[in-house]
């Protein structure tokens, strides 16, 4: 069972589905689409996904490419959306800065990672999508490495790459 977020103008609805996000999408389309047209961002979705949507809906719907409209809508942010982006960025920055202030020789990547995630939640993040802490030369190039028990040594370079989510809005930060 997983949680998938579908963003809406007024609120963020959480729906719980078993299986994959793709099957959740198909289930939602079958049960909630009204009318006979579905707008799709064809530049974002793979052919595999589009073909599976067509198969699931069995010709009862006409799919229209609304890529241009979606990009125009994404470009326009209201005051609340801007505030959410700012808050997500603030949470992210505070978490990294807090971790930096609490570094010491001998702390592990895992401990730094825990400090960042805890601080994000304390500052109001709903969740995080990806958080990387890379200590030393061996992990510095791999932005998606999992934190290890590698300890900080004198002279190490520490790389942070974090993503905080606040009310469905994402801030990605790297230092």
Residues 22-42, buried b or exposed e (16+ Cβ, 10 A)? eebbbeeeeeeeeeeebebeb
In tens, the pLDDT along 111-168 reads 999 999 999 999 999 988 777 788 776 555 555 677 889 899 998 888 888 899 998 8
In tens, the pLDDT along 68-92 reads 888 888 788 889 999 999 999 999 9
What 8-state DSSP symbol labels residue 165? Answer: E
Q: Name, in order, each residue with C-beta under 8 angstroms of 15's C-beta and a sequence gap of 6 or more.
A: 3, 4, 6, 24, 28
CA distance 153 to 140: 14
pTM over cut 0.75: no
CA distance 161 to 143: 7
What phi and psi values does residue 21 have, to the nearest 5 degrees?
A: -60, -35
């Amino acid at each position: 069972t997983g949680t998938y977020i579908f963003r809406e103008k007024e609120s963020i609805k959480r729906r719980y589905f078993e299986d994959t996000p793709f099957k959740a999408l198909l289930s939602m389309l079958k049960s909630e689409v009204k009318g006979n047209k579905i707008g799709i961002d064809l530049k974002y979705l793979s052919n595999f996904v589009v073909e599976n949507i067509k198969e699931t809906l069995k010709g009862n719907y006409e799919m229209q490419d609304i890529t241009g409209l979606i990009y125009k809508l994404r470009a326009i942010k209201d005051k609340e959306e801007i505030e959410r982006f700012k808050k997500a960025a603030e949470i992210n920055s505070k978490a990294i800065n807090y971790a930096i202030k609490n570094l010491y020789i001998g702390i592990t990547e895992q401990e730094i990672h825990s400090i960042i995630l805890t601080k994000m939640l304390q500052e109001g993040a709903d969740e995080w999508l990806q958080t990387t802490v890379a200590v030393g030369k061996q992990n510095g190039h791999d932005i998606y490495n999992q934190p290890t028990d590698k300890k900080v040594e004198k002279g190490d370079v520490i790389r942070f790459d974090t993503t905080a989510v606040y009310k469905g809005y994402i801030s990605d930060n790297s230092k």
